[in-house]
Chain A
Amino acid sequence: MKRTAALLLALATAPAAAGCSAALGAPESVTGADTLVIGVKPDQPGLGLRTGEGRFEGFDVDVALYVAEHLGVAEEDVEFKAVTSAQREDVLESGDVDLVFATYSITEERKSVVGFGGPYYVAHQDILVRADEEDVEGVRDLEGRTLCQGEGSNSADRVIEEKGIDARLHEEPAYGDCIAPLLDGEVDAVTTDDLILAGYLAQEPEGLRLVNAPFTDEQYGVGIALEDVAGCEEVNRALTLMYQDGTAEELLDRWFGETGLDLVTSVPQFVGCG
């Protein structure tokens, strides 16, 4: 009888044990995390900018904190890490960071290596010129002018090659380095994502003008490990709420409200997880 009882007991507890091993075998998800490491840009004013050791500010940073809170992780348990554009896939694949909010455009190639929640905003390629430049109203007006591009970017190539517009190319190490030559008249225009340009504009509101002639869609996604489908879906729920409760509008207004940029305050179309 005792032996039978022991067998019956083993049988009764088997589901619990099996449940346990299933949980151990499953890939880690940000949905159950107590702390989060989030990758942001250190050098994009308005989006992700380092303000001190381990401290960052900007739209990306605030959106990241909102999502973290929805995932049940308080601000003090979020560690921000600076990532460059080239590092974004690597740090997600290695697990060094859990989420990336770093002007990370969703593309089909990237989607085969990492997962994407969102987009949380759809930025557009636009043009930044000197405030006294009145003849540039759209991308076609860049004909014959000099464009500045940050190294490793393809924004200006897009204008020159894809659109077949005959403009000259001037390269600087980063987009931030294009602003001084633009103000000096060494180059005529800088073209990249409008949110990035808006950040520079906010620093030099007197000397610069944003043309407001968007000609591409850049979906800013939340980078996440490819296997963490449940986490990606939860990020999307957080972003839906962020737009529904008015936080998105407030954040866009706080970071870009003064720049005159046309802001979309309605939830973007998500690309879907998994």
Chain B
Amino acid sequence: MRLPGLRRLRPATTPGRLRRSAAASLAAVGLLFAAAAVGTAHAREGFAVIGHGAGAKVAASGDLYYALSDMDAQTANMLLVWQRSEEDADRAQRAYDARRDDAGRAVVQAAQLAEGDRAEERNVREVVRGLVAYQRLVTEARVLAEQDDDPDPPEEAVELYREATDLMRLELLPKAYNLTLDSGATVRATYEDKRASVLLWAGLTGGAGLLAVAALLWTHHEAAARFRRILNPAVAAAVVGALVLTAAAAGMLVLQAERMRQAKEEGLDPLLALSRVRAVCTGMNGDQSRFLLDREGADTYEQVYLQNARSLLYVEGDDLGDYYDGVDRAVGEYPKGDGMLGILGREAGELAEQGRSGEVDEVLRAYRAFTRADWELRRTAAEEGPGDAVEVRVGEVQSAYEEFDAAVVELKDTHGRNYEEAVRAGDRGLTGWDRGLPAAALALAVLVVVGIYPRLAEYR
């Protein structure tokens, strides 16, 4: 029994069958083209956000936070050493000026990048306004400190500084930090969406490609065997071409998805975490100076220091004493031992899981040295008074801090390079496809037409 539908599917005449197979081939090639084009567009959009737009914002606002936080730390240092050592005062002054310039540059960049997002624009504007007010307070405090010969800055100067540091820590820094987080959120959402799309369309490209190869083989059968020939060169070339195009396009899309993952997970994520580590530690370094400078708020600054330290590397315990011991133990046991918490702790944990604990060893050791120097600072302040502690602050503590910061920057730069390389590779991997893809699809179509045209002509 024959179904009527089946009859229509199998046209009786040879040219009819040939035309149908060729039409199917052309449609399948069209689908291959469409799937690859959509996939490429998703990859391009993904890299535009992760590699350029929001990714750049993450880096720029991270720099802004660091510059602001260190500016405030340097202000405290400056006031602390102003009448004690001309050399230290000069150094603090130079560091402050350098950070102020960095902050100025970073805030301009952040403003440019925030353009178009109203909440972010407003955030940046408020940072600019606050920065002006902050600098005015610092200048006033400095003038007061200069007029006084006592090694400890006058109470009025400390009060002005307290006002300035509150402005910085309660208003400016949170806004700068939230800018980074918001850009990071955009990167995450784009990454998840685009990477899934690119992989999906890579699969569809493969499917459409196989369909095109099958249709082309069918066309070849109709154009060669039915005409008692072994080979139809044009259609055979189209079969090979379709195979190559499918493999290249699907392969390229899978590779782009992988580069996107590298750019985010091995580049931007750790980069973001390490800029946070750096920023938090500058804040801790500032808290050490504030602890000595503002004796009235010393308890609070010590508590804030502990809180920041815990957010950086968390270990169990009640007070600072427990914290020093805990860090000593955790760093000693790393990469074994319980998983560490806190921004640096989680980062170290992830690297250990990937068998790359060596990369963070230096940073952890430098952090342990920094906490040991902090112990010495607080011991000296308690036993020998704040005057002697200032010496420890500008000596031992400062060099331990600088070593830690340098180690963090080095690791951060490694990830920065990973990120840039992945983004560059991603951009490079997409060049040429804009024109190459339609040209290749068109060439396949031309080959099909060229292959069947003479055969159809035989029937005219």
Contact = CB atoms under 8 A, between A and B. Distances in A.
Nearest to B179: A240
A217 B303 contact: yes
Contacts of B5: 2
B207 interface: yes
Interface in A65-117: 108-109, 111-112
Interface stretch (A12-20, A50-58, A127-135, A197-205): A12-20
Contacts of B181: 236, 270, 272-273
A230 B193 CA distance: 12
A111 B174 contact: no
A268 interface: yes
A270 B178 contact: yes
Contacts of B28: 4, 8
A274 interface: yes
Interface in A186-237: 214-217, 229-230, 233, 236-237
A4 B341 contact: no
Contacts of A267: 174-175, 178
B182 A236 contact: yes
Given A108-B310, A215-B303, A15 B204 contact: yes
Interface in B206-245: 207-208, 211, 215
A180 interface: no
Contact of A268 (B119, B123, B174): B174
Contact of A215 (B208, B299, B341): B299
Contacts of B319: 161-162
B189 A230 contact: yes
B341 A270 contact: no
Nearest to B340: A108
Interface string A9-37: 00110110011001000000000000000
Interface in B295-336: 299-300, 303-304, 307, 310-311, 314, 318-319
Interface in B187-217: 188-189, 196, 200-201, 204, 207-208, 211, 215
Interface in B10-59: 20, 23-24, 27-28, 31
Interface in A127-147: 138-140
A157 B318 CA distance: 9
Interface residues of A, number: 46
Nearest to A165: B299
Interface string A252-274: 00000000000010111111111
A108 B204 contact: no
Q: Could you tell me the dominant secondary structure of chain B's interface residues? A: helix
Nearest to A22: B196
Contacts of A11: 31, 204, 207-208, 211
B341 A8 contact: no
A264 B182 CA distance: 22
Given A217-B307, A272-B181, A8 B299 contact: no
Contact of A217 (B9, B201, B211, B304): B304
B248 interface: no
Given A15-B200, A236-B178, A240-B178, A140 B299 contact: yes
Interface in B150-198: 170-171, 173-175, 177-178, 181-182, 184-185, 188-189, 196
B170 A264 contact: yes
A50 B27 CA distance: 66
Contacts of B311: 108, 271
Interface in A172-191: none
Contact of A266 (B174, B208, B342): B174
B173 A269 contact: yes
A18 B123 CA distance: 39
Contacts of B314: 108-109
Contacts of B200: 15, 18-19
Contacts of B379: none
B122 interface: yes
Contacts of B276: 272
Interface string B65-86: 0000000000000000000000
B24 A163 contact: no
Contacts of A18: 200
Interface residues of B, number: 46
Nearest to B65: A269
Nearest to A3: B9
A112 B341 contact: yes
Contacts of B215: 4
B237 to A, nearest CB: 22
Given A111-B341, A215-B300, A229 B318 contact: no
A4 B27 contact: yes
Contacts of A8: 27-28, 31, 211
B177 A269 contact: yes
B31 A237 contact: no
A198 to B, nearest CB: 18
A167 interface: no
A269 B178 contact: yes
Contact of B119 (A229, A233, A240): A240
B318 A161 contact: yes
Contact of A233 (B20, B170, B189): B189
A14 B122 CA distance: 43
A266 B31 CA distance: 54
Nearest to B320: A162
A215 B170 CA distance: 15
A4 B171 contact: no
Nearest to A244: B122
Contacts of B119: 237, 240-241, 244
* Best-surrounded residue of B28, B196, B204, B299 (most CB of chain A within 10 A): B299
Instruction: Return the 10 tightest CB-CB contacts between A and B, nearest first.
Output: A269-B174, A108-B314, A233-B185, A266-B171, A162-B319, A108-B341, A4-B24, A269-B177, A272-B181, A215-B300
Interface of A: 1-4, 7-8, 11-12, 14-15, 18-19, 22, 108-109, 111-112, 138-140, 157, 161-163, 214-217, 229-230, 233, 236-237, 240-241, 244, 264, 266-274
Given A8-B31, A230-B189, A270-B174, 19 more contacts: A1-B20, A1-B24, A7-B211, A8-B211, A11-B207, A11-B208, A15-B200, A15-B201, A112-B341, A140-B299, A162-B318, A236-B185, A240-B178, A240-B182, A241-B119, A264-B170, A267-B174, A272-B181, A274-B188
26 contacts: A4-B27, A8-B27, A8-B28, A15-B201, A15-B204, A19-B200, A108-B341, A109-B314, A112-B341, A157-B318, A161-B318, A161-B319, A217-B304, A229-B188, A233-B189, A236-B178, A236-B182, A237-B182, A240-B119, A244-B119, A244-B123, A266-B170, A266-B171, A269-B174, A269-B177, A274-B188
